[in-house]
Chain A
Amino acid sequence: MSDDNSIQGGDRFPRTRWSVIDAARSGDETERVRAMDTLCAAYWKPVYKYVRLRWNRPASDAQDLTQGFFVQLIERNLLEKFDLAKSHLRTYLRLCVDSFVMNEEKAAKRLKRGGNVSHIALDFAGAEEELGGATMDPASIPSPESLEDFFEKEWIRGLFELAVEDLRKHCEANERERTFRLFEEYDLAGDENISYDKLAAEYGIPVTDITNALSWARREFRRGALERLREICGSEEEFQREARAVFGWEAK
């Protein structure tokens, strides 16, 4: 029997870094920039899609508003007011977006927006393509409750995309490109008919190699997604709660 103090296999999971919320509130400019980059990476897509659907804005307006929101988040220190005990970070940000868009509407009547807003480079074309299937008909805009679900779903999608991208880079750096291709084909392509046997035949390798490669890729993906998630959580407790929500562990 192993002692519970001895960690089997070693604890490869990263310890808590300075959370993005603490970093964004800090006086250290480098930390603040890192925090904003992290937040922007995790949230810009859900924010953009949310503005398009919830506020029924055309693509060009939604792009300006998304960029403007993140600039304001930095300039006006909006995270200072965030209280971890009262809500999730994503709920707080969504409410900030609502408030920002409403204020912008009023301001637009007085002054044409965008005069002095610095822009952040974001792939709006890609986000727009993803929204391709979503209707822009105001009558079909979801209820406030389902909009919250929509925001959460898009946030999870964004988080997973970042983790997959991290995994791809990790595979490249470790000469495991084939592992990533297997992972793409089996877990990402959404092909119902794919099987380990088919992949083994396609790549000319034993099924056990497929099993091992996919197992490794999934572990790395999970580690990466949790690392990304930990960065944008304000406390260990929030991280545990969000991890259960992100991976659907509550629902099963």
Chain B
Amino acid sequence: MKSLSDKAIERLRTGAEEPDLAGTRYRLLERIARGGMGVVYAAEDEKLERRVALKVLDVPGTDGDLANRLMREARVLARLEHPGIVPVHDVGTLADGRVFYTMKFVEGQRLDKFIEGVESMQDRLRLFLRICEAAAFAHTRGVLHRDLKPANIMVGPFGEVLVMDWGLAKILRGEAASAVRGADPEATIVEKLKQTGEESDSTKSSVITGHGTVMGTPGYMSPEQARGEVEVLDARSDIFSLGALLRFILAQKTPAEFTPRLDRSLEAICAKATAEQRDSRYSAVQELGQDVSRYLDGLAVGAHRESIFEKAARFYRRYRFFILLILAYLAMRIILLLVLKR
């Protein structure tokens, strides 16, 4: 036969990527994004006549590391029913042998894009609080996200916040651990590495350490996660990521190219959340959220010990209207007294 040109090879590669949805209730619409494990498509659920997002692995097979991870991610999501966590609808294997799951199709923007249009510091902080609520809920269910970063947060058209991509989630304990079958991604990968003595391509972004495999995003993952200390990870690891996320949210320039200068209290909140030593961080996401809420309400935050001047300034900011009203009243009284004396 005639040799295939480079162009034909590229075309074949693109064509071969499409999942085979024969026998399913879904119809392929368009490719949305590529992730570490596979591709996410927009598809139509023909039975319910709604749009869904379909995440599918590249390679067929139900017993590989990636297939286990995808199945596990779907099961984790199924147990995290919260308005801030993307809901999963279905999971299975396609006719071409590839594992997939479908989830809510989220229309909106990634946080890193969305935040550029949010000028008010207060609005940014309220957005951050909604991320905290989702993370705190997952923690109460014994699940760590382990990859909280702007690219994994979606903001919908009505300002709803959804935490996405739970592929690196770690099950901490109890109910969730026994309910979510399938190997822990790290445990599986570490085991494979031991067997083969080399790094699997599927974990290309991972780094092997003396303890385990590093999975996460530099800049957002905690020092203990970066060292691969899988066994010690707890809620404080996600708190580090949330601290980095808060710093990102606050530092992003607005459309007017105005970079807000961080208030000392906010700086202290970020610093406490991202402390090198995990014992120095907040012990729970709720604590971090409370500090941010206190800041929004003009109250003292736990992360920062204020000087008398800072207290006065905060007091002024909080009661500015009343203070100005009283000052205006006093000024009027003085003026009246002076006028009457004449």
Contacts and interface: CB of A to CB of B under 8 A. Distances in A.
Interface of A: 1-4, 6-13, 84-86, 126, 129-130, 156-157, 160-161, 164-165, 168, 187-190, 214-215, 218-219, 221-223, 225-226, 236-237, 239-241, 243-245, 247-250, 252
B93 A250 contact: no
Given A86-B198, A187-B11, 12 more contacts: A1-B89, A8-B23, A8-B95, A9-B20, A9-B24, A9-B95, A161-B1, A222-B96, A244-B58, A244-B59, A247-B16, A249-B17
11 contacts: A1-B89, A2-B92, A7-B93, A9-B22, A160-B9, A187-B8, A187-B15, A189-B8, A240-B59, A247-B17, A247-B58
Interface stretch (B172-180, B199-207, B216-224, B237-245): B199-207
A60 B283 CA distance: 74
The winner among A8, A9, A218, A241 for most chain B CB atoms within 10 A is A8
Contacts of B20: 9, 219
A129 B2 CA distance: 10
B4 A164 contact: yes
Interface string B1-30: 101110111111101111011111000000
Contacts, number: 133
Nearest to B198: A85
B309 to A, nearest CB: 55
A67 to B, nearest CB: 20
B61 interface: yes
A218 B91 contact: no
Contact of A240 (B91, B197, B202): B202
A11 B58 contact: no
Interface stretch (B63-71, B125-133, B286-294): B63-71
B34 interface: yes
A8 B56 CA distance: 14
A-B pairs with lowest CB-CB distance, top 8: A9-B23, A13-B97, A9-B95, A222-B16, A218-B15, A190-B7, A249-B58, A130-B3
Contact of A13 (B34, B60, B64, B71): B60
B201 A248 contact: no
Contacts of A244: 58-59, 201-202
Contacts of A243: 58-59
Contacts of A218: 12, 15-16, 18
A178 B198 CA distance: 46
B196 interface: yes
Contacts of B9: 156-157, 160
